Amino acid sequence: MTIPTRRIGALTVSAQGLGCMGMSQGYGAGDETESIATVHRALDLGVTLLDTANVYGRGANEELVGRAVKGRRDGVVLATKFGIAAQSPDGPTIRGDAAYVREQIDLSLGRLGLDHVDLYYAHRVDPNVPVEETVGAMAELVTAGKVRYLGLSEASAASIRRAHAVHPITALQSEWSLWTRGIEDEVLPTCRELGIGIVPFSPLGRGFLTGKLNASPDADADLRTKMPRFGGENFEHNRAIVAALEALAAERGVTAGQLALAWVQSRGDDVVPIPGTKRRGYLEENVAAATIELSDSDIAAIEAAAPADAFAGDRYAAGMMRAVGK
């Protein structure tokens, strides 16, 4: 099992990356030994793109990823992010001012134990700071050798255009999956016009599209408890849709999660999803999906089984929803 490569902007990466967030927060308790073994297995399988952020586990995730890549840095495309400075029930505090950008890269590099990162994303666009200021400060980091390429996450088409005029943007990381298709109307064509690669996050719908989640998460620390899609009646409604996806997958001898990943990957050669897991078993299942070829009729069948507009509930609670698409 080896994974092919794809281009995002000027970068060549494995056709699927590894999301590391869940190793330190969000989806149930992690285990450092298995998490590091998962990163190592990913590298062994040819996965080169590793995704973290300063905010994941309040820095603990960058430290974990740093330990995992120690001695294995060559060939790794290490991506991290800044911008979610605090979280509260009313929503996140977003910062994109130049002073914050300059301060955060040094903190991230210190936690990672690296002298540079390959891809540095603004995690959200700060509505109170011109995006030109944010990207101008990010561009200074390229000149200083601390960062190789720049990215944005959950940005609007207009912000992407303005940012790209200051410094080339290599990648746009936004949520994209069978149940989250909001980027398709404006953001995607803008990225394609500008030669910006797409890195879909939560391509497995935070685990939901695998069909292996059979009850609403209820642990306080689980991010999904705050997401309307995962609550009560919405959960039951949405679970029935995933059952149809599972049936389709079984007919084809694959899993629902693999179909969901193959569908994202089929969106174009400039698309590199980053499914997240902290377990080698899931990783191997996910990587195997990178070589699944879907025919037009497969895609039609998948979209008929799990149409985006059939799912109930917003992807984020109101406060987080206000921070996306800026």
Ligand X SMILES: NC(=O)c1ccc[n+]([C@@H]2O[C@H](COP(=O)([O-])OP(=O)(O)OC[C@H]3O[C@@H](n4cnc5c(N)ncnc54)[C@H](OP(=O)(O)O)[C@@H]3O)[C@@H](O)[C@H]2O)c1
For the annotated catalytic residues, the residue numbers are 56
Applying CB under 6 A, the residues found at the interface with ligand X are 19-22, 27-28, 51, 123, 153-154, 173, 201-207, 210, 212, 257, 274-279, 282, 285-286
The distance of closest approach from Cβ of residue 87 to ligand X in the complex, given in angstroms and rounded to an integer, is 12
Residue type, 221: A
Nearer to ligand X, 108 or 286 (CB): 286
In 3D space, the residue among 139, 268, 138 whose CA is nearest the CA of residue 197 turns out to be: 268
The 10 Å Cβ neighbour count of residue 282 is 19
The distance of closest approach from Cβ of residue 135 to ligand X in the complex, given in angstroms and rounded to an integer, is 17
Cβ atoms 65, 292 nearer than 8 A: no
Nearer to ligand X, 84 or 109 (CB): 84
Nearer to ligand X, 1 or 144 (CB): 1
Residue type, 254: V
Nearer to ligand X, 39 or 141 (CB): 39
∠ CA 202-210-236, rounded to 5°: 100
In 3D space, the residue among 67, 59, 175 whose CA is nearest the CA of residue 124 turns out to be: 175
Name 14's bridge partners.
5
Matching residue, tokens 């996140």: 92
